[in-house]
A and B are shown apart, each in its own frame.
Chain A
């Protein structure tokens, strides 16, 4: 009897499907495309089964090879990790359903294998309890992402893929250097164990390994100025891939930074530095998004801005800040993934990524446009959507103490939200009220593309109607995250 609630299955199942894909690909390449939805559906079910356990115990630990931590490679799932795993499985499921209709280019078997690997890597990143494992997961994620960005093999995507490859490899090396340094200093790779042993190091001694890990992960996590690959790579990839990249992959990297900063390093002294980085990310992301003519590029820059936004909330260091960060992560993942899927569906009709060509399509593609508006409204934080509550939480967290410094921060945040409103409203205006170009034949995208993002839209609408439970859960998650002793004891408790 397989224990359904073992978190290792979250990695094992999709990996198994990858190998399965490799096995059946020689017989039928088309058949491989039905594997990712199944794998992600199983993952989603497992994660949902894990919820009661995590709620009860706080952290669930799974080990390999029957050895207890810190000696074995272990997996430790806490509230934050599990929530991100749920989001990753959900988005993976939605995007792979979308792929069934969307991906027509060959080689499909390779695409589906890479897509499964991408999902595996992301899930792995958010549930691992081991630094080296984190690096491995990071590599799995990045390498499959390089391949997927370059999948379309036109000039854009090859250039973007190459840029991403170079930057991502630098990032991976830096991360590895950081992990090695940690190992040299503490003699262990287990996160909880490092966390316990690192207490004897001074701020200065921690700085070097931390900075390497931060920079390495920051490249993947879209932090300014390390994010320059992103505005090329996200638009160049097929839209379903963009939705995973923007929706959860950058977030997973940010999660790793959060885990490293809070749990492993316990590095509250660094927060002013990361606050500055987050703010710059926000400002440059939103400002650049305002000037984009290409819809997917605009969404990609908006991802940078949003990443800055929730990373900023995290760097406030308070429970409420982390609560806001988590809420915004949830909101951003769902809405941005949906927006990318919709943009993809619209591009299949318009055959252009230029925003000007989208004018007036709201009359023809009603469902897509309405759901685009829902996603954009939620992202902008307009009530009654969930984004309103997360924006409110973050603003409240920032202004927990009123002084000149915090007010300046809030003014910057809100100014950026005005800019965000400006470019999203501009796009929606031209969609719904612009003039349709003469001689174009545009109709609603095929149901195979519409149904997946409508499912996501229904999730967003449900959140809009019942925000209270999620807000309560996010508070628990934030409290759990900030009390790192709980995590450490849970992992090392077996000793």
Chain B
């Protein structure tokens, strides 16, 4: 039984290699292996449902054991990883068809899955870091599959990712220097006994690494380019899973390595929660608001979703940083929910791009009749994203709001609410500009996507409903996880929360019943009412003119221009520009430095003389160097 944790970890890697080799024989072999092995991983994972494994020794390196483990929280994240990766693989089959280097693409996709699985299963920092680095460079290889522009985006990602990983590496080396072991439990003991300055340094160094990967502002600048330029199925993996891995890292940092009580001791307590967590909460809050505003202003569907991801991951981080049982549960649940609905949206937008070849919102429109399944998927996705009952996004957002209220963190609550309201604006824009309104002439012959691409859309739409009506399914895992990490487990039942978490109760089944009843009533009224008769789009007039096929009667460019006028002056300043300025000045400085190699022999010989004379000078000084 114990050995199978290793088997679980190796399954995706094996699948990757097999599908790479299989692709050399025939492409169907490649798809079979990829889908088979990623489903197998999911199945194997379910053997560990409710069965934590604490200690599986992988090997020994530098005198520190490398451990695999699985606890409810890592199970939750491993579940996200395997599910979304499987769906992405299914989606890619048609989406990526016809491109070169597909064998390598599937290999990479499965290696990324394996690496992320390794991160969630890691029981010590060395294993964690090993898989983290593998994940960084393999996901880079995935991003640059998207063509010319994606190369630049990928370059930005890999540089930021290396910086983040190196920052973590410093922290890991600092810990190793003290105790020569990197097992989570021992690290936690070390941190509890260390001076506060050391602890804070460790915390900040780790947080930088996780912020880059989770795309929390101000380290988010790679996201908007990478998500939009990568292939759609990769974007959904990046946004649905990679970001969550960053959040998982943050969770491990906060609750496995530090723990709330230690965090409380590190800095003077002036706020409702420990100062460090409160600061993280503010980073998340600012992420939520700023990137929501940025999402509103986008013209590019995938960029819109990318900024929306930054904003939504803000909720996850905010929830985790609240530190109460309700807040943590809300944050973790939102991680799951966001993985579901954001991947869903990336899949549907990917489907639109697959059929129309553009992701520019102002060029699209009226696809509802042509692509009904995609439209339904998008509708479920945006309802969940906006946090409207009865879908899953509502529940987790509600939990986070309640947790903020409990802690009386009014300002953060305001930020969260602004973000939620703002998301109505951009999701409406998304569905309106793509599916509603006037169908451009050139998309007259667009068809629904192939069945294989519909599968992920159907499944994920179902997921938004299931976790919306029965949040207890996820709470089952999360509550056990909270208990595992020493947080009071949240009280829940299958349909919601019975109260007693220090807040009102929530029964999703009632809400959904009301909702469905409302729908039925509306439909009855609709059916009994006056008979409708269908008219053509052009049976209309605008500004006294008859609308023809050439007129564009619904405007979709600069949709929120009025809003842009207000916020644009503020967004003149962006973190990206600051980093670029730094890079430029470093470039100039480096260029001066390399001029020391003049190419001139006389200069070079004089360097030797300089070194020898320096030594002579030292001897004059009495041999004292320092």
Assess whether B625 is in contact with A226, with CB atoms less than 8 Å apart: no
A377 at interface by CB-CB < 8 Å: yes
The listed residue (A208, A231, A273, A287) touching B625 by CB distance below 8 A is: A273
CA distance A288 to B163 in the complex (A): 20
Assess whether B151 is in contact with A433, with CB atoms less than 8 Å apart: yes
CA distance A468 to B626 in the complex (A): 39
Assess whether B137 is in contact with A228, with CB atoms less than 8 Å apart: no
Other A-B pairs, 7, CB within 8 Å; known A167-B601, A402-B177:
A225-B596, A228-B597, A287-B594, A388-B130, A401-B177, A414-B169, A468-B59
Chain B hits for A422, CB < 8 A: 159
CA distance A410 to B169 in the complex (A): 10
Question: Which parts of B152-168 form the interface with A (CB within 8 Å)?
Answer: 154-155, 158-159, 162-163, 166-167
Chain A hits for B572, CB < 8 A: none
Assess whether B610 is in contact with A410, with CB atoms less than 8 Å apart: no
Instruction: Report B174-214 CB contacts with A as 1/0, cut-off 8 Å.
Output: 10111000000000000000000010000000000000000
Chain A hits for B198, CB < 8 A: 402
Assess whether A407 is in contact with B170, with CB atoms less than 8 Å apart: yes
Question: Which parts of A385-434 form the interface with B (CB within 8 Å)?
Answer: 388-389, 392-393, 395-396, 398-402, 407, 410-411, 414-415, 417-419, 421-422, 425-426, 429, 433
Interface centre among B134, B159, B608 (most CB of A within 10 A): B608
Contact sample, A vs B, 11 pairs, CB 8 Å cutoff: A163-B601, A225-B607, A226-B608, A226-B611, A269-B625, A288-B590, A399-B176, A401-B177, A414-B167, A425-B140, A429-B154
Chain B hits for A414, CB < 8 A: 166-167, 169-170
A407 nearest CB neighbor, chain B only: B170
CA distance A270 to B615 in the complex (A): 11
Chain A hits for B59, CB < 8 A: 468
Chain B hits for A228, CB < 8 A: 597-598, 603-604, 607
B605 at interface by CB-CB < 8 Å: yes
A166 at interface by CB-CB < 8 Å: yes
B267 at interface by CB-CB < 8 Å: no
The listed residue (B62, B154, B170, B626) touching A393 by CB distance below 8 A is: B62
CA distance A399 to B604 in the complex (A): 34
A272 at interface by CB-CB < 8 Å: yes
Assess whether A400 is in contact with B154, with CB atoms less than 8 Å apart: no
Assess whether B597 is in contact with A421, with CB atoms less than 8 Å apart: no
B589 nearest CB neighbor, chain A only: A287
With A166-B601, A411-B170 as contacts: A425 and B155 at CB distance below 8 Å: yes
A291 at interface by CB-CB < 8 Å: yes
Interface centre among B61, B174, B610 (most CB of A within 10 A): B174
Interface residues of B (CB under 8 A from A): 59, 61-62, 100, 126, 130-131, 133-134, 137, 140, 144, 148, 151, 154-155, 158-159, 162-163, 166-167, 169-170, 173-174, 176-178, 198, 590-591, 593-594, 596-599, 601, 603-605, 607-608, 610-612, 615, 618-619, 622-623, 625-626
Assess whether B151 is in contact with A429, with CB atoms less than 8 Å apart: yes
CA distance A202 to B599 in the complex (A): 39
Total count of chain A residues near the partner, CB < 8 A? 65
Assess whether A402 is in contact with B608, with CB atoms less than 8 Å apart: no
CA distance A382 to B129 in the complex (A): 11
A384 at interface by CB-CB < 8 Å: yes
B169 nearest CB neighbor, chain A only: A395
With A163-B601, A395-B173 as contacts: A215 and B162 at CB distance below 8 Å: no
A183 at interface by CB-CB < 8 Å: no
Assess whether A215 is in contact with B611, with CB atoms less than 8 Å apart: yes
With A167-B605, A393-B62 as contacts: A203 and B170 at CB distance below 8 Å: no
Chain B hits for A421, CB < 8 A: 158-159, 162
Assess whether B173 is in contact with A418, with CB atoms less than 8 Å apart: no
Assess whether B608 is in contact with A383, with CB atoms less than 8 Å apart: no
With A288-B593, A288-B594, A288-B597 as contacts: A166 and B605 at CB distance below 8 Å: yes
Assess whether B130 is in contact with A417, with CB atoms less than 8 Å apart: no
B618 nearest CB neighbor, chain A only: A207
The listed residue (B100, B133, B174, B596) touching A402 by CB distance below 8 A is: B174
CA distance A425 to B178 in the complex (A): 34
Assess whether A388 is in contact with B133, with CB atoms less than 8 Å apart: yes
Chain A hits for B155, CB < 8 A: 425-426, 429
Interface centre among A166, A229, A395, A411 (most CB of B within 10 A): A395
A204 at interface by CB-CB < 8 Å: yes
CB distance from B610 to the nearest CB of A (A): 7
Assess whether A384 is in contact with B134, with CB atoms less than 8 Å apart: yes
CB distance from B294 to the nearest CB of A (A): 27
Instruction: Report A210-244 CB contacts with B as 1/0, cut-off 8 Å.
Output: 01100100110000011011011000000000000
B160 nearest CB neighbor, chain A only: A418
With A170-B605, A414-B170 as contacts: A290 and B590 at CB distance below 8 Å: yes
CA distance A62 to B611 in the complex (A): 36
Chain A hits for B590, CB < 8 A: 287-288, 290-291, 419
CA distance A219 to B612 in the complex (A): 12
B146 nearest CB neighbor, chain A only: A433
A228 nearest CB neighbor, chain B only: B604
The listed residue (B154, B173, B178, B596) touching A410 by CB distance below 8 A is: B173
With A284-B596, A388-B130, A402-B178 as contacts: A225 and B601 at CB distance below 8 Å: no
Chain B hits for A419, CB < 8 A: 590
Assess whether A225 is in contact with B151, with CB atoms less than 8 Å apart: no
A471 at interface by CB-CB < 8 Å: yes
Assess whether B134 is in contact with A167, with CB atoms less than 8 Å apart: no
B166 nearest CB neighbor, chain A only: A414
CA distance A411 to B178 in the complex (A): 18
CB distance from B161 to the nearest CB of A (A): 9
Chain B hits for A203, CB < 8 A: 623
Chain B hits for A122, CB < 8 A: none
CA distance A102 to B140 in the complex (A): 35
Chain A hits for B134, CB < 8 A: 382-384
Instruction: Report A439-473 CB contacts with B as 1/0, cut-off 8 Å.
Output: 00000000000000000000000000000100100
CA distance A389 to B61 in the complex (A): 9
Assess whether B163 is in contact with A272, with CB atoms less than 8 Å apart: no
A414 nearest CB neighbor, chain B only: B166
A434 nearest CB neighbor, chain B only: B151
Assess whether B159 is in contact with A418, with CB atoms less than 8 Å apart: yes
Assess whether A219 is in contact with B608, with CB atoms less than 8 Å apart: yes
Chain A hits for B593, CB < 8 A: 283-284, 287-288
A419 nearest CB neighbor, chain B only: B590
The listed residue (B131, B154, B173, B591) touching A399 by CB distance below 8 A is: B173
CA distance A211 to B158 in the complex (A): 42
With A211-B612, A399-B174, A429-B154 as contacts: A291 and B591 at CB distance below 8 Å: yes
CA distance A377 to B134 in the complex (A): 11
With A167-B604, A270-B625, A407-B170 as contacts: A396 and B612 at CB distance below 8 Å: no
Chain B hits for A410, CB < 8 A: 170, 173
CA distance A170 to B591 in the complex (A): 29
Assess whether B137 is in contact with A382, with CB atoms less than 8 Å apart: yes
With A383-B130, A383-B134, A395-B169 as contacts: A417 and B162 at CB distance below 8 Å: yes
Chain B hits for A402, CB < 8 A: 174, 177-178, 198
Chain B hits for A429, CB < 8 A: 144, 151, 154-155
A174 at interface by CB-CB < 8 Å: yes
Assess whether A272 is in contact with B158, with CB atoms less than 8 Å apart: no
CA distance A280 to B162 in the complex (A): 22
CB distance from A161 to the nearest CB of B (A): 12
Assess whether B599 is in contact with A207, with CB atoms less than 8 Å apart: no
CA distance A174 to B349 in the complex (A): 69
With A388-B133, A402-B178 as contacts: A284 and B608 at CB distance below 8 Å: no
Question: Which parts of A334-386 form the interface with B (CB within 8 Å)?
Answer: 363, 377, 382-384
Chain B hits for A284, CB < 8 A: 593-594, 596-597
The 8 closest A-B pairs by CB, nearest first: A204-B623, A211-B615, A228-B604, A288-B594, A399-B173, A414-B166, A225-B607, A287-B590
Assess whether B604 is in contact with A229, with CB atoms less than 8 Å apart: yes
With A272-B626, A291-B594, A421-B158 as contacts: A208 and B619 at CB distance below 8 Å: yes
CA distance A286 to B166 in the complex (A): 17
Assess whether A167 is in contact with B623, with CB atoms less than 8 Å apart: no
